Chains A and B, each alone.
Chain A
Amino acid sequence: MRHLLSISDLSKDEAVLILDTAIEMARASDGPMKKLPTLRGRTIVNLFAEDSTRTRISFEAAAKRLSADVINFGAKGSSLSKGESLKDTALTLQAMGADAVIIRHGASGAPVRLADSAWMSGSVINAGDGTHEHPSQALLDAFTIRKHCTKSGGDLAGLRIGIVGDVLHSRVARSNVLLLSLLGANVTLIAPPTLLPFGVESWPVDISYDFDSVLPSLDAVMMLRVQQERMSDLFFPNAREYSRYFGLNRDRMLTMKPNSIVMHPGPMNRGLEITADVADSARSVIVEQVSNGVSVRMAILYLLLAGAPTQIGANS
Chain B
Amino acid sequence: MSKSYILKGGSLPNGTKSDIAIKDGLISAIGTSLDANGSKIFDITNCVVLPGLVDLHTHLREPGREDSETVLSGSRAAVKGGFTAISAMANTSPVADTAGVVEQVFRLGQEAGLCDVFPVGAVTQGLEGEKLSEMGAMANSIARVRVFSDDGHCVSDPLVMRRALEYVKQFGGVIAQHAQEPRLTVGSQMNEGIVSAKLGLKGWPAIAEESIIARDVLIAEHVSSRLHICHVTTAGGVEIIRWAKARGIDVTAEVTPHHLLLTDDLASSYDPIYKVNPPLRTQKDVMALREALAEGIIDIVATDHAPHPAETKECEWQEASFGMLGLETALSIVMQTMVDTGLMKWEQVADRLSIAPARIGGYSDHGQEISVGKSAHLSVINPTASWRVDRDLVASRSRNTPFHGMEFPGVVTHTFFKGVKR
Contacts and interface: CB of A to CB of B under 8 A. Distances in A.
Contacts of B201: 108-109, 130-132
B193 interface: yes
B318 A108 contact: yes
Given A85-B311, A107-B318, A198 B192 contact: yes
A132 B198 CA distance: 7
B315 A133 contact: no
B199 A108 contact: yes
A113 B316 contact: yes
A112 to B, nearest CB: 5
Interface in A192-219: 197-200, 202-203
A131 B270 CA distance: 13
Contacts of B311: 85
A277 to B, nearest CB: 33
Interface size class of A (residues with CB under 8 A): 20 to 34
Contact of B315 (A87, A197, A203): A87
B128 interface: no
A105 B316 contact: yes
A110 interface: yes
A199 B317 contact: no
Nearest to B267: A109
A23 interface: no
B197 A107 contact: no
Interface string A162-178: 00000000010010000
Given A113-B270, A198-B193, A202-B194, A171 B315 contact: no
Which residue of A116, A130, A200 has the most chain B CB atoms within 10 A of its CB atom?
A130
A187 to B, nearest CB: 15
A36 interface: no
Interface in B168-218: 192-194, 196-203, 205
A108 B315 contact: no
A61 interface: no
Interface in B230-278: 269-271
Contacts of B193: 198-199
B314 interface: yes
A155 interface: no
B318 A174 contact: no
Contacts of A171: 200
Interface in A86-117: 86-87, 105, 107-110, 112-113, 116-117
A60 interface: no
A273 interface: no
A182 to B, nearest CB: 14
B92 to A, nearest CB: 25
Nearest to A113: B270
B316 A133 contact: no
A105 B198 CA distance: 17
A122 to B, nearest CB: 19
B315 to A, nearest CB: 6
B270 A86 contact: no
A53 B203 CA distance: 29
A197 B196 CA distance: 9
B194 A129 contact: no
A196 B205 CA distance: 15
B347 interface: no
A132 B194 contact: no
Nearest to B197: A197
B199 to A, nearest CB: 6
B319 interface: yes
B199 A198 contact: no
Nearest to B318: A107
Given A133-B200, A198-B196, A199-B197, A107 B316 contact: yes
Contacts of A113: 270-271, 315-317
A198 B200 contact: no
Contacts of B319: 107
Nearest to A202: B194
Interface in B319-352: 319
A230 to B, nearest CB: 13
A108 B317 contact: yes
Contact of A130 (B198, B200, B203): B200
A132 B315 contact: no
A203 B196 CA distance: 12
B270 A108 contact: yes
A133 B197 CA distance: 11
Interface string A55-96: 000000000000000000000000000000111000000000
Given A85-B311, A116-B269, A198-B205, A109 B198 contact: no
Contacts of B194: 199, 202
Contact of B197 (A85, A86, A87, A200): A200
A120 to B, nearest CB: 13
Nearest to A197: B197
A82 to B, nearest CB: 15
A85 B314 contact: yes
Contacts of A107: 316-319
B196 A132 contact: no
Nearest to B316: A107
A164 B205 CA distance: 25
A254 to B, nearest CB: 34
Contact of A132 (B192, B199, B269, B271): B199
Contact of B200 (A85, A117, A131, A202): A131
A198 B197 contact: yes
Contacts of A174: 198, 200
Given A85-B315, A130-B201, A197-B203, 20 more contacts: A86-B315, A86-B316, A87-B314, A107-B317, A108-B201, A108-B318, A109-B199, A109-B201, A113-B270, A113-B315, A113-B316, A130-B200, A130-B318, A131-B201, A132-B199, A133-B200, A197-B196, A198-B203, A199-B192, A199-B196
11 contacts: A85-B311, A107-B316, A108-B201, A108-B270, A109-B316, A113-B316, A113-B317, A116-B271, A199-B193, A199-B197, A202-B197
Interface of A: 85-87, 105, 107-110, 112-113, 116-117, 129-133, 171, 174, 197-200, 202-203
Query: What 7 A-B pairs have minimum CB-CB distances, sorted nearest first?
Result: A109-B270, A132-B200, A107-B316, A197-B197, A131-B200, A108-B200, A199-B194
